[in-house]
Chains A and B, each alone.
Chain A
Amino acid sequence: MSHKIRIIILSILLILIFLFFYKVLLSEKTYQPRSMIGKSVPEFSMENFKDINRRITNQDFSTKEIVVLNFWASWCVPCRIEHPMLNELKKKYKLFLVGINYKDNASNAKKFLNELGDPFDAIGSDSKGEVAIHFGAYGIPETYVIKKNKIVFRHIGPLNQDVVKAIVALK
């Protein structure tokens, strides 16, 4: 192989490597795991936050057309930030909201809701964090949209207006 051809092949290789890394570095950095998207709602049974005599299970809202499920806690600062958006989803868009109170103290959680409003139609208490793992949650806040018993959307972190729009568009 002549020296010239070698240089050409090497240059093409270098350009391809450069383009590969350029594209990778410019790509979207926010990682949104998709492993639960399209799957059925995992089975769970939790203490009911609003009614101690009844437990909350996945069957309770399996007939609902659309459900917004939100993991939150009173000790979580970003949950405080996103709470007005959950209120908006309830009041303005009339969505069915299920809150999962994650490893929290019940009296602190009640104070949190009294202070910021209670947008939830049902609240379950995930005191051991097991339900969060069933949903493949990374932490809190985390929000899932369930349509006809299937997870169709997931957002990690506090809600913002763009996410609210995306959720409403799923109606």
Chain B
Amino acid sequence: MIKKVLFILFFSLLATKFSFGNDELKNKIYKNLRCIVCQGQNVYESNSDFAVDLKKLVEKKLSNGETEQQIYDYLTSRYGEWIVMTPKLNASNAMLWVIPVGIFLIGLIIISKIIRKSKINS
């Protein structure tokens, strides 16, 4: 009897863990998808028609066994890189990745020069 109870308990825990894991992945994907008809919201936060449709589609694709990357690839082929909250580095968005780093480096050089100058003066 105890064995049976433990067996049921083990499998129900396993099922719960699996469903939580699936929900986690679903929410991760929702959070990484931009609601392109909203202002600055991801699909997870939005209740717009577009976001609701996208959530249903992601759920369907996951239950069909598609991977996270396959879902991103499918949606970027439809909506472009803009649909993903963290777009991949490519030729068209390279400047957006390079400029902040460049400004940071220039700032570092300026600050180090000022510090060096003030040390020499003192």
Residues of A within 8 A of B (CB): 33-36, 39, 42, 103, 128-130, 132-136, 138-139
Q: Which residues of A contact B37 (CB under 8 A)?
A: 138-139
Q: Least Cβ distance of A16 to chain B in Å?
A: 14
Q: Least Cβ distance of A22 to chain B in Å?
A: 18
Q: Which residues of B contact A135 (CB under 8 A)?
A: 78
Q: Which residues of A contact B77 (CB under 8 A)?
A: 35, 39
Nearest to A130 among chain B residues (CB) is B57
A139 and B49 alpha carbons, distance in the complex (Å): 9
Given contacts A138-B37, A139-B37, contact A129 B80 (CB under 8 A): no
A89 and B82 alpha carbons, distance in the complex (Å): 32
Asked if B80 and A33 sit within 8 Å, CB to CB, the answer is: yes
Other-chain contact of B78, A128, A129, A136 (Cβ < 8 Å): A136
Nearest to A139 among chain B residues (CB) is B37
Q: Is residue B53 contacting chain A, with contact meaning CB distance below 8 A?
A: yes
Q: Which residues of B contact A136 (CB under 8 A)?
A: 78-79
Q: Which residues of B contact A42 (CB under 8 A)?
A: 78
A103 and B57 alpha carbons, distance in the complex (Å): 15
Determine chain A's interface SS by DSSP, over half rule. Answer: loop
Other-chain contact of B49, A34, A39, A103, A134 (Cβ < 8 Å): A103
Q: Least Cβ distance of B23 to chain A in Å?
A: 21
Residues of B within 8 A of A (CB): 36-37, 49-50, 53-54, 56-57, 75-80, 82
Contacts A/B (CB < 8 Å), 16 sampled: A33-B79, A33-B82, A34-B80, A35-B77, A35-B80, A36-B78, A42-B78, A103-B49, A128-B53, A128-B56, A129-B49, A129-B53, A130-B56, A133-B75, A138-B36, A139-B50
A130 and B75 alpha carbons, distance in the complex (Å): 12
Q: Which residues of A contact B53 (CB under 8 A)?
A: 128-130, 132-133
Most-contacted residue by chain A among B49, B57, B76, B78 (CB, 10 A): B78
Asked if A35 and B50 sit within 8 Å, CB to CB, the answer is: no
Q: Which residues of B contact A36 (CB under 8 A)?
A: 78
Q: Which residues of A contact B56 (CB under 8 A)?
A: 128-130
Most-contacted residue by chain A among B37, B53, B56, B76 (CB, 10 A): B53
A132 and B79 alpha carbons, distance in the complex (Å): 11
Asked if B78 and A134 sit within 8 Å, CB to CB, the answer is: yes
